[in-house]
Amino acid sequence: MTLRIKYPEEIETRMKAFYDSLNEKDRRRYAAIEAIKLGHGGQIYISSVLGCHFQTVMAGINEITNGTETPEGRIRKPGRGKKKIIDTVKNIDEIFFNILKNHTAGSPTDKEIKWTNLSLKDISKAFESKGMNITPYVVKQLLKKHGFVKRKMQKAVTMKDSKDRNEQFERIHELRIGFAVKSVYF
């Protein structure tokens, strides 16, 4: 569908800048008014100029012609909008805790304070290895949801090399496995 009238490029740029400055409800209505002014084929043209979906323009036209159903002081109806991934993906909390089970530490004096030594990207990659596309931003939301705090190890003085250092960690690992096995049987 080609329009008989198209706006000059300078006007299109100004329209887009104005559109970007509006809230969601006003964007729909502005796009609708511009499309109605142009008539047949205006919806597709305006959606391409403003960079919005064709259905957004159609929803705006519907609001203008049939009235709006959104409550006063709101941009959209209650319960509308995209839900957070942490609320929609099944078992995300279980998988999250499974990833962090060997990488979680906490304050000995306050049980509520806990942290992990994994970075957001490390946790995101661990989710990816389990077949889930979870971004570092979502990982940050999960950490906040479950009460993890930011903490980095800081070492002011370098330690000397110890010849038994590796043996210490191997012994700790053995003890940990031993206690984990005992807790399964009791």
| pLDDT tens column, 73-106 | 666 666 666 788 888 888 899 999 999 988 888 8
Residues 19 and 54 occupy one common structural domain: yes
Across all residues in the chain, what is the average pLDDT? 83
Q: Is the dihedral of CA 22, 53, 80, 84 positive or negative?
A: negative
Residues 87, 135: one domain?
yes
Is the confidence at residue 125, as pLDDT, over 90? yes
Alpha-carbon distance values, 180 to 49, 106, 175 (Å): 61, 19, 9
Question: Any idea which residue has 């989710």 for tokens?
Answer: 127
Start-to-end CA distance of the chain, whole Å, equals 73
Note whether residue 163 is domain-resident.
no
Residues 140 and 106 reside in one and the same domain: yes
**Quick one: pLDDT at residue 30?**
93
Residue 99: which of 112, 84, 118 has the closest Cα? 118
Considering the domain boundaries, does residue 173 fall inside one? no
Measured CA to CA in angstroms, residue 12 lies from 7, 46, 117, 133, 172 at distances of 6, 9, 49, 37, 67
Structural domain tally of the chain?
2
Is residue 54 domain-shared with residue 90, that is, in the same domain?
no
87 falls within a domain: yes
At residue 72, the pLDDT reads: 65
C-beta of residue 79 within 8 angstroms of C-beta of residue 54: no
What's the maximum distance between 2 C-alpha atoms anywhere in the chain? 83
